[in-house]
Structure 1
Amino acid sequence: MKNFLRTCTIALALVLPAFSVGASSGKGQQPHARAFEVPGHDPIGKPGDGSSIDRTIEISIRETESGYMLFEPDAIQIESGSVVQFSIRNTGALDHEFFLGSFDEVAKHQQWMREHPDMQHDSANSVSIPSGQNAELIWDFSDMTNLEFVCLIPGHREAGMWGVIIVHDHLAPKSKD
């Protein structure tokens, strides 16, 4: 299933037009609208303020000897309405990023980054993590949806740096009558 999703998301990235999500290039261009703030975009929640964190998820970033670049874990389930703190540790030799968005936004942003490789992010749904460093991102998952988290430094997603988040409704335990 994951190989199918990889194939689909890579195909989308190649055919969709450029679009930016809360980013600006390093060449003085104006930042673009943050998709999570624009009506009509896929609901992905909103930045958390850190005052009430329901869950902390630790994510490790690494590269393998065979050239893969990985997030561990790469599949996460989150209950709708939860505020999650992602604690991200880059144990790899390269700099990486953690970008959270809908599958459509990620594909469009990936194309934008290909065209603007010196871009610097200015968005609450993305953090850069230099080699050997840690970073945190706090997010309020207010909507049931499926999201993707990726490293969109050119070539990194293609090397395996992506994962999925399934935001689901709280399921009450079934009562035994």
Structure 2
Amino acid sequence: MNTATYILALCLSMSSMGTVAQAGSGKGQEPHSKAFALPDHEPIGKPGDVASITRTVEISIKETASGYMLFEPDAIHIEKGSVVRFAISNLGALDHEFFLGSFDEIAEHKQWMREHPDMQHDDPNAVSIASGQSDELVWQFSAMTNLEFVCLLPGHREAGMWGVIMVHDHLAPKSKG
């Protein structure tokens, strides 16, 4: 075997080893499949215990006559260590979802949803809410970070269905008046 062929064969075998190693790491699998539990994943917290809830955030899902879809509120500040109950009401005519994740996870999940638009969720960091219905998600925020919540049904995020959560080690006091 000549040197060029040997080097090519060596490179190909090394690149396939990386693919095999990646296959067991959770990468390349469904991006939302318990991604928050992977060791190298950005910390977004974990499912919360209902008995430990420290705060409830009410979120409304709305659709406008012009086709805009939104969460109200779309920006939420949460204190690190809080266990939050998200009480989500779908006031719109369409079914929606509330998916909580890191910005990278949301980007991966968005691509996955484009390839699998009929996929149903069964993850602790996501709920599907039918039109006119309500549901809740309980989450413990254990790290200071910024997260996104989003509806990734095809076209919904693009129509405005996304928001941010900022997790801090302190919250500013509420102003009076």
Deviations 1:84-124 (A, max 9, x none): 00000000000000000000000100000000011111110
Aligned to 1:40: 40
User: Residue 119 of structure 1 aligns with which residue?
Assistant: 119
- Which consecutive aligned stretches of 4+ in structure 1 deviate over 3 angstroms post-superposition? none
Q: Where does the alignment leave 5 or more consecutive residues of structure 2 unmatched?
A: 1-27
Q: Tell me whether 1:20 sits opposite 2:31 in the alignment.
A: yes
Q: Are the aligned partners of 1:44 and 1:143 in contact in 2 as well (CA < 8 Å)?
A: yes
Query: How is 1:50-61 mapped onto 2 (pairs within 5 angstroms)?
Result: 50-61=50-61
* Higher radius of gyration, 1 or 2: 2
- Are residues 20 and 171 of structure 1, via their aligned partners in 2, closer, same or farther at CA, if it must alter by over 3 Å? closer
Instruction: Provide the alpha-carbon RMSD of the alignment.
Output: 1.5
CA–CA distance in structure 1, aligned partners of residues 38 and 103 of structure 2: 16
- The aligned runs of 1:144-155 (5 Å cut-off) are 144-155=144-155
Distance 1:18 1:52, change over 3 A: closer
Which structure has more helix as a fraction of its residues?
2
Given that residues 77 and 171 in structure 2 are in contact (C-alpha distance below 8 angstroms), is that contact kept between their aligned partners in structure 1?
A: no
Deviations 1:116-138 (A, max 9, x none): 01111111000000000000000
Q: What SS does the corresponding residue of 2:110 show, helix, strand or coil?
A: helix
CA contact (8 A) 1:61 1:72 kept: yes
The structural deviation recorded for 1:19 is 4.9
Normalised by the size of structure 1, how large is the TM-score?
A: 0.79
Q: 1:124 to 1:114 in 2, by over 3 A?
A: same
Distance of 1:83 and 1:157 partners within structure 2: 26
User: Aligned partners of 1:162, 1:118: CA distance in 2, in Å?
Assistant: 20
Q: Aligned to 1:121, what secondary structure does the other structure show?
A: coil
Structure 1 107/18 Cα, relative in aligned 2: closer, same or farther at 3 Å?
farther
Partner Cα separation in structure 2 for residue 156 and residue 172 of structure 1: 32
Deviation of residue 18 (structure 1)? 8.4
What percentage of residue pairs aligned between the two structures are identical? 75
Give the match for residue 97 of structure 1: 97
Matches within 5 A, 1:53-72: 53-72=53-72
Q: Which amino acid aligns with 1:68?
A: Y
Q: How many residues align?
A: 146
Structure 2: distance between partners of 1:154 and 1:80: 32
- Where does the alignment leave 5 or more consecutive residues of structure 1 unmatched? 1-16, 23-33
Residue identity in the other structure for 1:20? P
User: CA 1:171–1:84 in structure 2 vs 1: closer, same or farther (change >3 Å)?
Assistant: closer
TM-score calculated relative to the size of structure 2: 0.79
